[in-house]
Amino acid sequence: MKVPTMAEYMAEGKQPEVLFWVGCAGSFDDRAKKITKAFVKILNNANVEFAVLGAEESCTGDPAKRAGNEFLFQMQAVTNIEVMNAYEVKKVVTACPHCFNTIKNEYPSLGGNYDVVHHTQFLKSLLDDGRLTIEGGHFKGKRITFHDPCYLGRANDVYEAPRELIRKLDVELVEMKNCRKKGLCCGAGGAQMFKDAEPGNKEVNIERTEQALEVQPDIIAAGCPFCNTMMTDGIKNKEKEDSIVVQDIAELIANAQDL
Amino acid sequence: MEYIPNILFAILLIAGVGYFTKNVRKLTRNIKLGRDVDRSDNKSERWKNMAMIALGQSKMVRRPIAGLLHIIVYVGFVIINIEVLEIIIDGLFGTHRIFETVIGETVYGFLIGSFEILAVAVLVTVIIFWLRRNVIKLKRFLSAEMKGWPKSDGNIILYFEVVLMTLFLVMNASDIPFQEAGHGNVISQYLYPLFEGTENIEMANMVERTAWWLHIAGILIFLNYLYYSKHLHILLAFPNTWYANLKPKGEFVNDAAVTKEVMLMMDPNADPFAAPAEGEDEGEPEKFGASDVQDLHWVQLMNSYTCTECGRCTSECPANQTGKKLSPRKIMMDTRDRLEEVGKNIDANNGTFVDDGKALLNDYITPEELWACTSCNACVEACPVNIDPLSIIIEMRKYLVMEQSAAPSELNVMMGNIENNGAPWPYNQMDRLNWKDEN
């Protein structure tokens, strides 16, 4: 696995094609690290010149902003923007819809202007350019349902890129009763990931998992590390972890290719 | 003597429209209590949104049954109001069915005929609406915030429409010359036998005049009822969709006052003790976020008056679906109720607001509701007229966190981690690339 940093590129006097923004979950969460690695393997395999910031990356500030701490958010944003601008970053790809949304939409008015894409959009563009081929591999014929991340779908109208990638896997894509614009949240957004839920009669991720189980999938595909965690917990709660797996689209593609 | 009806009509019309105008002034004053926000960019897209969403009902039909029924009432109500124009002219000048002579019997007959069909369609629809609210008991009409006035308001509107549509049909049925002409009485001809025959002419005339007067009086009363009702949406849906947010739903506005401070902190050359430059207006001390309606911007306040309490937002809300206290509809209803309260306070105190010791936060909306939100934008997407409850929730969270340091303790831990380690978890920033060498 080759994972060059922006600093290394700069030392060589070169610019990578794209900055891979790993995000906090992708860097530290054991489950999400697998998504990070799967994506890197695909990038390596497709000979994409990318770099990461490594220790120079910091939280985008998304959970702080959504929790109401505008000051902390802007401190994070301005610091990150300084780093990215110093490296003259043009294009950013990330596997986290929260990082994607924040850098794409909220950084520009603070001086950070980049072409930001979600990893499913990036993979789709590699596919369209012929730099990446996707084959079904051992997923052929399986039933897959895709859980729309709120910050990718409703927040930014990205619905089709992940679905087109899934279809390339020669699988049967089945839609939950709430999908696309009507997708149901996994329960982690708006900083809920970091606190207990308010009193209610059910957890949101359980409700969403039940919707997924209704379509009897073999695989629940996710496009967000937080959704991934929430859906995985839901499947465990329903004691279905032996029959159903939750995987990021990058993992599905990497696994199909035995990368 | 012969002009008495005309004069009475003019008085009724002036009183009705005058009182309505007075309330519209109050409405705009209340909305302007909000902070300023610039929503005048991209005019062509705004007109398009208004045409599609408010005029074209494009978001209503996402729920096909409610959407179709709504369109019938909407089209019926708008089109039948062409008839109101004729009534006003007739009333003021003492004419009778003036349009018949202007546009000719055939076209007039066609028009009135289609109004009659629409009137029946509206009657049927309104009955279904009533059944949905009161007999079938759809879940979204039964939430906690839908008790009392909001529930009766919903029904009163339906009764109004039944009365108005019935009066319209009766008015036509008892108009003997109109019936005898036989143009456009597609429905009312079946009611006509009640009034047919010479011995009943007196009675028929009386019924016709009564229905005619009640019809126009009813319309003027209904017009004035709007201000007190969720039915205000029939007017405000238009500006509300025009001024709606056009940016991606995930983009939350960056607070410019905070940016100024952050930039100052990040600037190594800034002198923290420097006096403000000459002529630079410090203005009022900035308050972060919103604890009361005056802290929201005017589009958010207009949103609250536009809300028709249909509950599509609440029924899509993941927190609400799983039994949490949050209901986006209640956020909008609370905002309107508090705004009305503030408006009455201003009226009672000669134009200035006198602190009443209450606020939108805590007295209406509790922190528990606010913290249950996942910011997923389902409510914003679901609203048929582009209301944005989420922006109010986030503004109030901002107040809780930045003015009161009142975040749930786990969120304080998360924010502390971001501040110290650059991640919401307590890991060292230097370890960010460790995954590279792990299996």
User: Which of B255, B429, B436 lies at the smallest CB-CB distance from A3?
Assistant: B436
Interface of A with B in 55-114 (CB under 8 A): 55, 57-59, 61, 63-72, 74-76, 78-79, 82, 101, 104-106, 109-110
Contacts of B371 in chain A (CB under 8 A): 195, 198
CA distance A148 to chain B (A): 11
CA distance B297 to chain A (A): 17
Please check whether residue A211 touches B, CB under 8 A.
no
**Segment B409-435, tens digit of pLDDT:** 999 999 999 999 999 999 999 999 999
Structure tokens at A96: 């986290």
Under a CB-based contact definition with an 8 Å cutoff, are residues B390 and B379 in contact? yes
**Segment A196-206, tens digit of pLDDT:** 999 999 999 99
**Segment B354-395, tens digit of pLDDT:** 999 999 999 999 999 999 999 999 999 999 999 999 999 999
Residue reference for tokens 């000048």: B93
Contacts of A41 in chain B (CB under 8 A): none
Angle at B325 between CA B323 and CA B331, to 5 degrees: 130
Kindly report the backbone phi and psi dihedral angles of residue A70, in degrees, each rounded to the nearest multiple of 5, phi listed first. -60, -35
Contact A188 B374 (CB under 8 A): yes
Contact A200 B372 (CB under 8 A): yes
Q: Give the ipTM of the model, two decimals please.
A: 0.95
Interface of A with B in 146-185 (CB under 8 A): 150-151, 154-157, 181-185
Low-confidence ranges of chain B (pLDDT < 50): none
Angle formed by the axes of helices A204-214 and A225-237, nearest 10°: 80
What is the distance of C-alpha B306 from the center of its chain? 2
Q: Residue B258: is it exposed, middle or buried by C-beta count within 10 angstroms (0-12/13-18/19+)? A: buried
Interface residue of A53, A150, A151, A157 to substitute, partner B, most B CBs within 10 Å: A150
Contact A200 B375 (CB under 8 A): no
Low-confidence ranges of chain A (pLDDT < 50): none
pLDDT number for residue A138 = 81
Report DSSP letters for A25-59, one per residue.
HHHH-HHHHHHHHHHHHHHHHTT--EEB-GGG---
pTM of the model: 0.94
pLDDT number for residue A217 = 97
**Segment A155-191, tens digit of pLDDT:** 999 999 999 999 999 999 999 999 999 999 999 999 9
Question: For chain A, first and last CA: distance in Å?
Answer: 10
Contacts of A32 in chain B (CB under 8 A): none
CA-nearest residue of chain B to A190? B374
Contact B325 A154 (CB under 8 A): no
